[in-house]
Copies of this chain bind each other. A is one copy, B any other.
C-alpha cells in the first residue's frame, strides 16, 4: 500500500491528468470535489466518473455555497462567460471567470481532509500558462499556501512535511495532454466547458473549450468531446 495523497478533482482535463500522475507516483488517492453551484455542474458528474474509473480510496464531494452567496464571478454569477477569445486576450488580465479565493478555499478543505485521512501530500492541477490571469494559479501562491499549511494543522506542526504538488503548473495544454495520453487518462470522461448546454454539451467557444481543442490539435490526438459549435 502506497502513501495517501489528497487530489483535487474538478472533472476537467487538468485535474484528471493530475490524479493519474499522483497514482503513477505511487500515491493512494483520496479525491475531493466541490459543488459550488458552478454553471458547469456537469463537471461534477465527470469527476465522479473519473474517480470511479480509478477506483479511488474515497471520493469526498463538498457543498460550498459561499461562492454563489458572495458572487463576483461569471462561473457562479449572472455575468456572461466570454467567448472566442485569443490566448493573449485570455491571459492579459484577470478574467471574469476567476472566482475570488476559490483555490484557497478548495485547498483549505483539502488540508482538513489531509489531516483526517493522514495524508501529507496534496495535488492540485493548476496551470500558470493558460490561467496567467488567475492569482491563485501561480507558483508563488502555491508555495505560500504550502508554507501556511505546514503551520496550520497538527501533522505539519508535529514535524511531518505537508507538500502541495502542482505538477502541471508550468505545462502547456498540449504537454498536459501528452502526459495524460502516456498515462491513459480517460479523457472521454472529462469535461472542460464553462458554459455547456443544459444537456451538458460543450459550447466550443469559451476559454476552456478553446484551450482544450487547441491542446488536442497540437498534440495530434482526437478530442473525444462533443461540441455544440466548432467555429
Q: Which of B63, B112, B135 contacts A67 (CB 8 A)?
A: B112
- Which B residues touch A104, using CB under 8 A? 108, 111-112, 148-149, 152-153
Pairwise interchain contact A141-B135, C-beta atoms closer than 8 A: no
Pairwise interchain contact A115-B138, C-beta atoms closer than 8 A: no
Q: Nearest B residue to A110 by beta-carbon distance?
A: B101
Q: Does A147 contact B (CB under 8 A)?
A: yes
CA distance A140 to B157 in the complex (A): 11
Q: Nearest B residue to A71 by beta-carbon distance?
A: B116
- Which B residues touch A66, using CB under 8 A? 62, 109, 112
- Which B residues touch A108, using CB under 8 A? 101, 104-105, 107-108
Chain A 88-104, CB-CB to B under 8 Å as 1, else 0, gives: 00000010001111111
- By size class, the interface of chain A is 35 or more
- Which B residues touch A130, using CB under 8 A? none
CA distance A182 to B216 in the complex (A): 65
CA distance A102 to B144 in the complex (A): 18
Q: Which of B70, B99, B112, B147 contacts A101 (CB 8 A)?
A: B112
Please give the count of copies of this chain that the complex contains.
Answer: 2
- Which B residues touch A111, using CB under 8 A? 100-101, 104
Q: Nearest B residue to A115 by beta-carbon distance?
A: B100
- Which B residues touch A62, using CB under 8 A? 65-66, 69
- Which B residues touch A67, using CB under 8 A? 112
CA distance A100 to B108 in the complex (A): 10
- Which B residues touch A117, using CB under 8 A? 70
Q: Does A136 contact B (CB under 8 A)?
A: yes
CA distance A136 to B157 in the complex (A): 10
CA distance A104 to B154 in the complex (A): 13
Say how far A160's CB is from chain B's closest CB, in angstroms.
Answer: 12
Pairwise interchain contact B109-A101, C-beta atoms closer than 8 A: yes
Q: A104-B112, A135-B153 are in contact. List 8 more A-B contacts (CB 8 A).
A: A60-B69, A100-B153, A104-B153, A135-B154, A135-B157, A144-B147, A144-B151, A144-B152
